[in-house]
Copies of this chain bind each other. A is one copy, B any other.
Amino acid sequence: MQSILIIGGSDAGISAALRAKEVNPQVGVTVIVADQFPNFSICGLPFYLSGEVQDWKTLAHRTADDIEKEGIQLLLEHTATAIDPVKKQVSVINMNGNMKILGYDYLILGTGAVSVEPDIEGLQLPGVFTLRWMDDSFAMNDYITNRNPKSAIIIGAGYIGMEMADALTYRGLKVTVVEYFDSVLTNVDSEFGHLVQAELEKHDVAVNIGIAVEKIEKNDSDLKVIGSKGFSASVDMILVAVGARPETKLAQAAGIGTGMKDAIKVDRRMHTNLPDIYAAGDGVETWHKILQKYTYLPLGSTAHKQGRVAGENVAGGNTEFQGTLGTQAVKIFDLVVARTGLRNQEAIGAGYDPLTVETECWDHKVYYPGAHPMKIRLTGDRRTGQLLGAQIIGHRDSEVSKRIDIFATALFHHMPVDGLYDLDLSYTPPLSSPWDPVQISAQEWLEKHA
């Protein structure tokens, strides 16, 4: 019996384990999980911290029991300390300091990412948090429950920062966001970033952009944040949410090749440079379908796909990861912001001659109650007319996220912008128009392009 060892029990690792057993029920699969929480939806942590998710146990995609029922062995609260690729062994240590050596025929690394700790004085002070894993969220939740903070600063206005601004406001805290760049949510265009900022402000979140945080100080019971341009504010707690970086020290020590941001280099089969060692998820470089090259783009949906590919391949299959489009969506208060593919600057960087056109239209026929305006920024290549990417912002009831998926499905097939016209999309007045907003945005792009 072939034995498959997987390091990491989050999305990529568990997805790989399940797929391996599905493809070949005869293989032995063991997953080394650093904490007690295999297969937890870490994307759900903001909703636990907001209080919307009352029982953290419901955050599990599957319970440990569910996973073990598939014949997968879980080694909870064990940390892998070394990989010996020659002997095909992994050393692990448990909470009590007991060490153990595990052999493997195939190894899959799903070690994920860790929160970036920026170069700011005072990060270690009590009341200052990062958020990536279950234990982070327990620590923050305990703090909120026990200390009853009234105010928080969130450093960083990316996805997690934005979701947590919503979440902590929901929980009753007065929230201030501090962002280094000149708009929030910089993975969409600043035109949309400004709309997100307005939504935050509408919900009483204070937003400070263009501020470099320099120092956090303890100040009696308060925490004081000091930044550039004279920024200074005192609050009861702080969340540092400035991004994630691959957790690949273990891999590097074993001689596994890494690339950008130290992410593990893999081929499309999710194979590393070492024999029989695969990797997937937030710790690896990700093939980008439009760029046709590797990038670093850690996303839960991608981790699931890559894990599945790795699991299938180690179990005797032969499949390739088809690539990311960077499709993402986030709900911030009553708005949803979503994107797929390339933005203008990214397209220029990739050698295209892009044109980005913004369209505003109603999400459904305006005569039917509840219509909301939505904005679409469509990016296409002037030379070829090829669709390169799209961004949408709209009300949470406007089917924004699945509209971005229409673009994503079109992008997957390398559609030209004018091909969007030919799509037979559904129409009923309460939900769309005879030409869906997706198609209206294509029309505007073609008019500007003409």
Number of contact residues on A: which range applies? 35 or more
Within 8 Å of chain B (Cβ to Cβ): is A99? no
* Contact A425:B408 (CB < 8 A) given known A367-B41, A367-B53: yes
Asked if residues B413 and A406 are in contact (CB atoms below 8 Å), the reply is: no
Asked if residues B52 and A426 are in contact (CB atoms below 8 Å), the reply is: no
1/0 per residue A361-388: CB within 8 Å of B?
0000111110000000000000000000
Within 8 Å of chain B (Cβ to Cβ): is A98? no
* Contact A435:B331 (CB < 8 A) given known A44-B429, A426-B401: no
* Contact A330:B428 (CB < 8 A) given known A58-B366, A422-B412: yes
Which of B304, B338, B413 is in CB contact (< 8 Å) with A413? Answer: B413
Q: Report the bound CA distance from A404 to B436 in whole Å.
A: 13
1/0 per residue A37-48: CB within 8 Å of B?
000010110010
Asked if residues A47 and B327 are in contact (CB atoms below 8 Å), the reply is: no
Q: Report the bound CA distance from A244 to B139 in whole Å.
A: 63
- Smallest Cβ-Cβ distance to A425: which chain B residue: B405
Asked if residues A436 and B330 are in contact (CB atoms below 8 Å), the reply is: no
**What is the CB-to-nearest-CB distance from A424 to chain B, in angstroms, rounded to a whole number?**
4
Within 8 Å of chain B (Cβ to Cβ): is A434? yes
Asked if residues B368 and A428 are in contact (CB atoms below 8 Å), the reply is: no
Scan residues 390-442 of chain A and give those whose CB is less than 8 A from a CB of chain B.
Answer: 396-397, 399, 401-406, 408-410, 412-413, 421-432, 434-436, 438
Q: Could you say which residues of chain B place their CB within 8 Å of the CB of A52?
A: 368-369
Asked if residues B369 and A431 are in contact (CB atoms below 8 Å), the reply is: no
Asked if residues A409 and B423 are in contact (CB atoms below 8 Å), the reply is: yes
Within 8 Å of chain B (Cβ to Cβ): is A279? no
* Contact A338:B426 (CB < 8 A) given known A399-B399, A401-B399: yes
Q: Could you say which residues of chain B place their CB within 8 Å of the CB of A328?
A: 426-428
Asked if residues B336 and A431 are in contact (CB atoms below 8 Å), the reply is: yes
Q: Report the bound CA distance from A289 to B424 in whole Å.
A: 10
Q: Could you say which residues of chain B place their CB within 8 Å of the CB of A112?
A: none
Within 8 Å of chain B (Cβ to Cβ): is A247? no
Within 8 Å of chain B (Cβ to Cβ): is A301? yes
- Smallest Cβ-Cβ distance to A432: which chain B residue: B401
Asked if residues B58 and A301 are in contact (CB atoms below 8 Å), the reply is: no
Q: Could you say which residues of chain B place their CB within 8 Å of the CB of A43?
A: 365, 427-429, 434
Q: Report the bound CA distance from A300 to B429 in whole Å.
A: 11
Q: Report the bound CA distance from A85 to B304 in whole Å.
A: 62
Q: Report the bound CA distance from A423 to B289 in whole Å.
A: 11
Q: Which of A228-236, A317-325, A347-355 lies at the interface?
A: A317-325
Within 8 Å of chain B (Cβ to Cβ): is A285? no
**Can you name 20 A-B residue pairings with CB atoms under 8 Å?**
A11-B434, A43-B365, A44-B367, A47-B368, A52-B369, A299-B427, A301-B425, A301-B435, A328-B428, A336-B431, A340-B424, A340-B426, A396-B431, A397-B397, A399-B401, A401-B431, A409-B409, A409-B410, A409-B413, A409-B423
Extra A-B contacts (11), CB below 8 Å, given A52-B368, A336-B431, A401-B431: A43-B427, A44-B368, A59-B367, A299-B427, A303-B434, A325-B424, A329-B427, A330-B428, A402-B432, A406-B409, A412-B423
Chain A residues engaging chain B, CB cutoff 8 angstroms:
11, 41, 43-44, 47, 52-53, 58-59, 61, 289, 299-305, 308, 322-331, 336, 338, 340, 365-369, 396-397, 399, 401-406, 408-410, 412-413, 421-432, 434-436, 438
